[in-house]
Structure 1
Amino acid sequence: MPRLFDDVPDPALAEVAAELLRLDPGGRRWGAVIRHTYDMIYNGPETGRFRWSELMKTEKTHFGTVFEINAQREFGFEGGDSTDFRITGHQVDAKWSQIEGGWMLPPEVFDELALVATASDPDAQFSLGLVRVKAKYRREGLNRDKKSSLNRLGNFAIRWLWKEHPMPASILLQLPDETVADIFDSKFGTQRVNRLFRATEGKLVHRNTVRTVAKQLDDQKRVRTNGGARSALKPEGYIILSSYYAHLAEELGVPAPDDMHYISVRVTPAAASGVMIDGQRWRRARASDPACVAPTLPARGTREA
């Protein structure tokens, strides 16, 4: 991505940017890091929380530290001397702010490279870039911890590697409030998960969302055929697909789940052009199609012609 501000060339910044893009050309790994950090802070399986506004002030403050730790684990960055990371031999400090431009920069990062990141969980987007924290880029005056933030020129000088880039979504933040209220309006985790998959038909559901709704760490138990949502929703025509059944999702015309997602699809018997499941052809049901018993998904290790 081209820079928005042409300053004196910074070979170190260019080398770090090139390495970050080499490690994650499409931004998928960084998006997963940020999604995982949100989910760790929300702690949904124990608390049922999934909104930033539900967090305590101390938890919000702790987000940046957890983000830094998760990034180091994902990419294996070396630790820096006075900064968080050393990337291609250069000192880099990781800075998170829930609001773009709100990064607080301590004295140890002055004149060093800062990896600045922010995100919008409701929009399922993140931004991540690099900037050299030069004196002319810092706001005048320091707080009591001797930290400062970027001024207008500094924000303009950020080299964005990903700007408002997609990250894994929390489907609960994208559903109408009344739908979410209905999902949680049961004291039984099984019923809440069933309502979740009914409400999100044809949309990817992150595994942590299932854990949050169920308030249980074992999402597979709540989804599986033996007593889970697959069994409960089968009489209504729903199949619930994991990454193993991504090929069925593609054939049914819905997003294909990866290892971190599920997707529910309401199906109905089809003509010869349908998808073969359980010895019969099926297609995605329309709103006008009556409910029918869904097919049994093939066992792992088998595929139907």
Structure 2
Amino acid sequence: MKAIPVSQVAPGHPDHALLSAIAGDITARAGGRAALADKLAAMLRACIDDVIMTAKTGRRSYDELEKTEKTYIGTRVEIELRALLGLKRGRLDTEILGHDVDIKHTMGANWMIPTEAVDQPCIVVAADEVQARCYMGLIVARADHLTAGQNKDAKRSVSAHGFAQILWLVERHPYPPNFWRTVDPDTVARIFAGDTGNARMAQLFREIQRRPIARDVVEAVARQRDFMRRIRSDKGRGTRDILAREGVLLLSGQYDAALIAELGLRTCGPSEFIACRPASAAQIDLAARHGLALGGKGSPAG
């Protein structure tokens, strides 16, 4: 998203009363400004990742999507946002305080406003995958807030002047980054070089340690139906067994929270995992007291 000018929507602005009222209703429905930002961030990450479908398709980024899939993300955001805020359908995308409101989403730097939304209040949402930041604002899409040019569907984008007419509810709020954007490409190649789910998962946790890994990332790497069985101890064949023989602990945020805290690792959610190679004999003993024995070739305990 480009640099955003200071909003001119303040007392005295012709749209201040309307946009402030809609903003108040939206934030109340979400449980406050902070809750709105956090819920929006989580929703956007899920909408994008659910279309990328790494576990099924092997794709790892938004850039790999087909044009129709990118368009569908906008539809998905519209549907999810209505559900998140408990809004009903309207003549446009929704209705708030008796006003028809359009919902527009972009993964770029602008929104395309259809002719039926001109002079109507719009919720504008943006997700910046590169910066992992999200935005949500309100604008009355007046003709003089839009560019003169239009696309083949007669849609017009928000002009530079129009950007200053947006009342922001969420601005530059962090949202969970695409995991694969945070990993070196050579590391990614090594992780996916394995010819079995266990091999790929073991490499994932060899390469990336002391950092929580979400369940959906593990599923994407495993690319097999019963991946959770593989990540647990499995008669010496599971990913946890393989890593333990190499002296690496693979811990679950749900079942190993106490050990994770005692090792001084980052807190994991219940659906996250974290790996580490104990740094001392004391840490090896600590793991053993929690029922996790290390041993074998490459292990500090071996």
Short-chain TM bin: 0.7 to 0.9
**Residue in 2 aligned with 1:41?**
51
Letter in 1 for 2:114: P
> Given residue 148 of structure 2, which amino acid in structure 1 is its aligned partner?
E
Alignment check: 8 A CA contact 2:107 2:129 kept: no
Aligned to 2:7: 4
- Shift of residue 188, structure 1, vs aligned partner: 1.1
- Rounded to whole Å, the distance in 1 between the matches of 2:107 and 2:142 is 23
The alignment of Structure 1 onto Structure 2 pairs a total of residues equal to 283
Given that 1:169 and 1:206 are in contact with CA atoms closer than 8 Å, whether structure 2 keeps it comes out as no
- Secondary structure at the aligned position of 1:32 is classed as helix
Native 8 Å contact 2:251 2:260 kept in 1: no
The amino acid across from 1:164 in the alignment is R
Which residue among 210, 215, 231 is the counterpart of 2:241? Answer: 231
Instruction: State the TM-score, normalizing by the size of structure 1.
Output: 0.81
Give how far 1:104 is off: 0.6
Amino acid of the residue matched to residue 22 of structure 2? V
Q: Is 1:118 aligned with 2:121? A: no
Q: CA deviation at 1:183?
A: 0.6
Structure 2 SS opposite 1:257 = coil
Check whether the contact 1:84–1:94 (CA below 8 A) recurs between aligned residues: yes
Verify the 8 A CA contact 2:115 2:155 in the aligned structure 1: yes
2:81 matches 1:75 = no
Q: Distance in 2 between matches of 1:17 and 1:217?
A: 43
**1:195 partner letter:** Q
> Does residue 131 of the first structure (1) align with residue 139 of the second (2)?
yes
Deviations 1:152-200 (CA, angstroms, capped at 9, x unpaired): 0111222222222221233221111100011111221211111112222
| CA shift for structure 1 position 118 | 1.8
Q: The residue matched to 1:118 in structure 2 has which SS?
A: strand
Match of residue 198 from structure 2? 190
1:86 correspondence with 2:95: yes
Structure 1 distance, partners of 2:258, 2:27, is 29
Q: Secondary structure at the match of 2:173?
A: strand
Q: Could you tell me the TM-score, scaled by structure 2's length?
A: 0.81
Are the equivalent residues in 1 in contact too, given 2:213–2:272 (CA < 8 A)? yes
Q: 2:207 aligns with which of 196, 199, 215?
A: 199
Distance 1:151 1:112 in 2: 16
Distance 2:164 2:258 in 1: 44
Structure 2, gaps ≥5 residues long: 293-297
RMSD: 2.9
Q: Where does residue 53 of structure 1 map in the other structure?
A: 63
| Shift, 1:3, TM fit | 5.9
Distance 2:118 2:266 in 1: 45
1:54-102 superposed Cα distances (whole Å, 9 cap, x missing partner): 1122212222112222323333321122x2222444433221111122x
Write out per-residue CA displacement over residues 254-298 of structure 1, whole angstroms, 9 at most, x where no aligned residue.
3322244332233245659x995542699xxxxxxx84369xxxx
Alpha-carbon separation, structure 1, partners of 2:158 and 2:140: 10
Q: Quote the Cα distance in structure 2 between the aligned partners of 1:123 and 1:239.
A: 30
SS at match of 2:267: coil
**Aligned runs of 1:126-165 on 2, under 5 Å?**
126-165=134-173
The letter for the 2-side match of 1:150 is V
Mapped to 1, the partners of 2:149 and 2:191 lie a distance apart of 49
On the 8 A contact 1:129/1:162 being kept in 2, the answer is yes
Q: 1:292 aligns with which of 275, 288, 300?
A: 300
Structure 1 counterpart of 2:295: none
Task: Say whether 1:241 aligns with 2:252.
Answer: yes
CA offset digits 1:222-268 (Å, max 9, x no partner): 42222432222122222222245445434433332224433223324
Q: What SS class does the counterpart of residue 123 from structure 1 fall into? A: coil
Q: In the alignment, what sits opposite 1:176? A: 184
Measured at CA, do residues 138 and 256 of structure 1 come closer, stay the same or move farther in structure 2, by a change above 3 Å?
same
Secondary structure in 2 matching 1:254: coil
Contact 2:205 2:250 in 1 (8 A): no
Alpha-carbon distance in 2 for matches of 1:225, 1:214: 15
Q: Is contact 1:186-1:192 (8 Å) kept?
A: yes
User: Counterpart of 1:262 in 2: which secondary structure?
Assistant: strand
> Which of 261, 270, 275 is the equivalent residue of 1:264?
275
CA contact (8 A) 1:211 1:219 kept: yes
What secondary structure sits across from 2:112 in the alignment?
coil
**Structure 1 segments of 4 or more deviating over 4 A?**
268-272, 274-278
Contact kept, 8 Å, 1:223 with 1:240, in 2: the verdict is no
Instruction: Return the alpha-carbon distance in structure 2 between the equivalents of residues 163 and 106 of structure 1.
Output: 24
1:179, 1:189 → 2: CA distance? 16
